[in-house]
Structure 1
Amino acid sequence: TSVSPNELSHFSSLASSWWDPQGPSRVLHLMNPVRHDFIASCIAESTPTTTTPSSPTDSNKSNTLRYLDIGCGGGIFAESLARTIPTPTTSDADAAVASSTPTRTRAAEITALDPSPTLIKIARDHARLDPIVNGHLETGRFKYVNSTLEEYIPTLHTTTTTTTTIESNSNSKNGGGFDIVTLFEVIEHIDNVPGSITPQSFLASCLSMVKPGGWLIGSTIARTFPSWIVNQVIAEAPWPVGVVPKGTHEWSKFVNPGELQAWVQEGLMRGADGGAVRG
């Protein structure tokens, strides 16, 4: 598995303060608008193909995109993304979402994945406080899944229901069934264990979830001297200077742009699928 027990324990311990905008996760709260802006710019640059056969071929005209948020934590980004799913106003929910005025994210369905049961519970409990988001949970348009990526991938190949059959058919060697896969501040927490899970193999698994023409959108921290000063010396300093708990980051796990691009290209070649890398 790609999950480090130490990392899992560390982030689970922050669960009670995850939704405090002034707490240890406040940087994640501040980054949310930037994440939405970047996703919108990616969609505008090259709109992924839609997954619903009956929906318009130009998804700029409707909300038809399926998202997978890997490493969602307590749901700060996933919940904000769920608020961009249109609220159905008719009995035909699928048609209502597809024909509604499009939002910037074009989101129609969201699956948010995290290996920590503690964080998933925090995420679900907080989502239920918002009637609109809770409505998406109840309809299944938004769902939290307590699982590692490695455990989740095989579930897409089951054929016990109509829904999973559709996912299985789309999750071929040419790409998974998601238009957009998000990976925010996750890869720098993956252990590098040669012969087992590595950041490269984890990234390849993430890419396998993206359907042809879709996007893998994420962010991480570069392994540079300034990043060490900012993210470990300053960010992990005692309060009131520090903004994250000590031990949140390990500088040796940070990833430089050239490394990340090489890993992405390797993952694309593994999947026999071409694609562009945008820095």
Structure 2
Amino acid sequence: MEVRPEDRGEGPVRDRDTVLGKALAILRAFGPADSVLPLAELVRRTDLPKGTVHRVAGDLVRHRLLDRTAHGYRLSGGLFELGLRASAERTLLELAMPFLQDLYERTHETVHLGVREGHEVVYIAKIGGHRQARAPSRTGGRMPMHCTALGKVLLAHAGEEEWTAVLAGPLERRTPRTVVAPGLLRGQLTRAVETGVAYEVEESTPGLLCVAAPVLAPDGRTAVAAISVTGPVGRFRPESHANAVRAAATALGSTLARRGY
């Protein structure tokens, strides 16, 4: 199945006329499930000439952003190193990790830390044990805000302008239970502001439940991040973990404020 940049939440790659634009098109051709892509597949996904892809991919290999293998190309460790140097996310992760670990020890369910980027939630961290539920989330991955608890609680504290933009749609139906009616979603966002938590009931993935709370900025209104706990239908009761998630998010918010984040 073709993996388009917009399917991964990155938006269409518009600038193909520069070397940088071509390089980004090649790097963004890799989807979450792709380990190695042959040259022909990179050509197909980027819609760039074969010679151009071969040349630019060679440059990326030399700069340790791609590795060349017997079966094609794969993303290289150089990208991982660059990602770890992103100062804001690194600081957030370092300060958040003790709270995420404590929350995992209390719940023994999958714990996430996420931030808002555009109309999506980006996963900064994921902690799960041996019995963690099968979830599509991954560190560095992203999902639409409207179908995840993390996304909904981030959107709830993003302001009316952002609400209007997201509710204007389109709202992708990822499962039969995804909330795609703007009125219903607005009601959920309002309750998230009132209660300090948001829920997901099999809206991004069948069989998964989730509860999330915002990590608020010092103004008490804007969310700089969000924390969630996820578990499977049948064993997991999200309501029973709401207080623990709220407490972790509040404690992290206080720590970030003291550190001037």
TM-score (normalizing by structure 1): 0.28
Larger radius of gyration: 2
TM-score (normalizing by structure 2): 0.29
Determine which structure has greater relative contact order: mean sequence separation of CA pairs < 8 Å that are 6+ residues apart, divided by chain length: 1
